[in-house]
Chains A and B, each alone.
Chain A
């Protein structure tokens, strides 16, 4: 008897459920939903502090080069802002895929900022201060960055595999250790007295070309942007198509089961961390020797933490990371202009990122709700996503 009423009720929400249930795009739709809910929540906050949300969002988009600003200083245009955005985006993509690949193995690499700083600092000291030619210096910077990041992350993987030390604790500890050690060396040996930062690196070693004239417009060109997108593709292929990728996903979804099927989870954990650290090191060199050209002592970049948001939003899919990195970077890159034009604090942007994260952390529950009724109908479509629920065996 009750069936008739529940049927009309379900028909009204049917279209939304159908979109949400479609397995191939489910993660994407849920991510978009999380962003939309966060936008609504932040709009409420903006209304409460007495500003117009629309002006705030428009100024965010203008600041990050998606919309034209009303006026530009001479020699600047929308292209300047947009290429600047791509320059900021490059390290973010590297950092996000670093989080993502570790995440697929059930590892939470939140030491990205420490690995970035290690790569950036070593590349600065070894190559950035040398007299090498650009042809030699730029690849070497990449190499040093990737290697040193990988070594540090490998150490974390080794601690995890052999001593069962939770990677969240060890990476955080190493973040502080690296931060203070680098700060010690910079303050002691490489400090620029006026700016209180490290000496700037040579132009030949820098991974971003600055002050490039395109027509009458002054721009900067991030040389490694395509490399970042390419590496995201490579990581995607590794995870989806190779034996190593299969092992990573197997260890991530159930470490014991993976062991029983003959996969060495210790080897996989260390390899994954090394890959993740290499990407984080590349993020470091494109950040400290690209987007910037010096290092501020005693400071960790926020890229390392925002990249966790990026990877979570992308459900740890390296290709989706490129898109969500675009979104999150646009928010933080535009926040400077937003705060000066719309007169709201820059913290609004980081708050927005935080709320996006909170909502995307609930995505597992949303998925569960949506799929619950679906299970009986067609179980075959309901595939498990190994990366979305990594097995973590306590601390």
Chain B
């Protein structure tokens, strides 16, 4: 019971964290990113497409397709995020508008492309790409332990990928020269310019990283929640991630905490419904727990947190 909460909670929290870190990269460079929802959807679509194609060629071994689909998802998300970069950095569009527009465009585009590709090439008429069920691993030695056991039981391989990504991203953002430049772009872009670096280029890279990470998060959810890529991928994870990073004050480690709270709360409310053997319609009420929790937590943490100073502003060289 408690183990199940931890297992399900981690499977939800880690992909969410990857998406939120994508948001942190973009927002630390000064580009508001409300497009995460659309980016993760497009990433999941790219991954699903890649999986469907690969399975046609190597039907006997879906493990290769499984791992390659993560790379495809990252590339797809990064490519789609170029639109956000183009609109926000080059075309000086309002960044909130751009984000909302990209979400709508991504829903329309992935829906259309999935249905069309299925019809034209894969001789199916559905609007879904079916994936294989992801393998799950258990570390037998430790799985008997009370709480630690939950951490090592039924672990999806992408949870390991997610953890690796988190470590790499933390190092990149806080311990490298590039990370310093990136954070400077969000707080004081003029200083970056004065140091002889291109604000536009750094922001472009940051937005692409954020697209790639969102894409990986998207395909993780596609594997864990529904084992297919369908319009149901747009269930608000991108916005939960944004709430998590606001709650985490734009820092990776506190954001990890926020994601864990969301994931565990979601899993716990499900288990509670199961435990009390309530009617299945109660599930609908259990579903609202993470969303309500976000709102309540934001009430307490939104006021005093410190967003990057230049967040949401178009960089203008002439400004002092």
Contact = CB atoms under 8 A, between A and B. Distances in A.
A157 interface: no
Nearest to A103: B97
15 contacts: A159-B299, A163-B303, A164-B303, A169-B242, A172-B239, A173-B294, A187-B284, A298-B284, A345-B116, A351-B109, A354-B105, A358-B83, A362-B91, A394-B311, A395-B311
B108 A350 contact: yes
B53 to A, nearest CB: 18
Query: What secondary structure prevails in chain B residues at the interface with A?
Result: helix
A327 to B, nearest CB: 16
A342 interface: no
Contacts of A25: none
Interface string B88-132: 000111111111111011011101100110011000000000000
Interface stretch (B1-9, B13-21, B219-227, B285-293): B285-293
A184 B92 contact: no
Q: How large is the interface on B (under 10, 10 to 19, 20 to 34, 35 or more residues)?
A: 35 or more
A108 B100 contact: yes
B284 A305 contact: no
Contacts of B116: 49, 345, 347
B20 to A, nearest CB: 12
Given A168-B96, A362-B91, A354 B109 contact: yes
Contact of B96 (A49, A108, A172, A357): A108
A215 interface: no
A290 interface: no
Nearest to B83: A358
B104 A390 contact: no
B298 interface: yes
B185 interface: no
Given A169-B239, A184-B285, A362-B91, A159 B295 contact: yes
Interface in A301-334: 305, 308-309, 312
B77 to A, nearest CB: 17
Contact of B281 (A110, A184, A350): A184
A357 B120 CA distance: 27
Interface of A: 49, 108, 110, 159, 163-166, 168-170, 172-177, 180-181, 183-184, 187-188, 298, 305, 308-309, 312, 345, 347-348, 350-351, 353-355, 357-358, 361-362, 364-365, 368, 389-390, 392-395
A361 B87 contact: yes
A347 B108 CA distance: 7
Contacts of B279: 188
Given A173-B243, A183-B284, A394-B312, A345 B94 contact: no
Contacts of A348: 112
B32 interface: yes
B91 A364 contact: yes
Contacts of A390: 94, 96
Contacts of B105: 354-355, 357-358
B299 A163 contact: yes
A163 B27 CA distance: 20
B307 A394 contact: yes
Contacts of A180: 284-285, 287-288
Nearest to B307: A394
Contact of A165 (B236, B285, B287, B302): B302
Given A163-B298, A350-B112, A365 B104 contact: no
B282 interface: yes
Contacts of B235: 176
Contacts of B287: 176, 180
Contacts of B173: none
Given A172-B239, A393-B312, A361 B98 contact: yes
A364 B93 contact: yes
Nearest to B313: A394
B233 interface: no
B72 interface: no
Contacts of B99: 168
A362 B93 contact: yes
Interface of B: 27, 32, 34, 83, 87, 91-102, 104-105, 107-109, 111-112, 115-116, 119-120, 235-236, 239, 242-243, 246, 279, 281-282, 284-285, 287-288, 291-292, 294-295, 298-299, 302-303, 307-308, 311-312
A164 B302 contact: yes
A61 B113 CA distance: 23
A176 B307 contact: no
Given A49-B120, A357-B105, A395-B311, 6 more contacts: A163-B299, A164-B303, A176-B291, A308-B100, A358-B87, A358-B101
A34 to B, nearest CB: 11
Contacts of A181: 284-285, 288
Nearest to A156: B295
A358 B93 CA distance: 11
Given A165-B302, A176-B291, A368-B92, A312 B97 contact: yes
B104 A305 contact: yes
A159 B298 CA distance: 9
Contact of A177 (B87, B281, B291): B291
A163 B296 CA distance: 11
A165 B239 CA distance: 13
The 3 closest A-B pairs by CB, nearest first: A347-B112, A354-B108, A354-B105
A172 B294 CA distance: 11
A308 B107 CA distance: 14
Given A312-B97, A347-B112, A354 B295 contact: no
A266 to B, nearest CB: 13
A176 B108 contact: no
A180 B111 CA distance: 23
Contact of A364 (B92, B102, B112): B92
B278 to A, nearest CB: 11
A263 to B, nearest CB: 21
A172 B97 contact: no
A368 B100 CA distance: 21
A262 B291 CA distance: 36
Contacts of B96: 108, 168, 390, 392
Contacts of A184: 281-282, 284-285
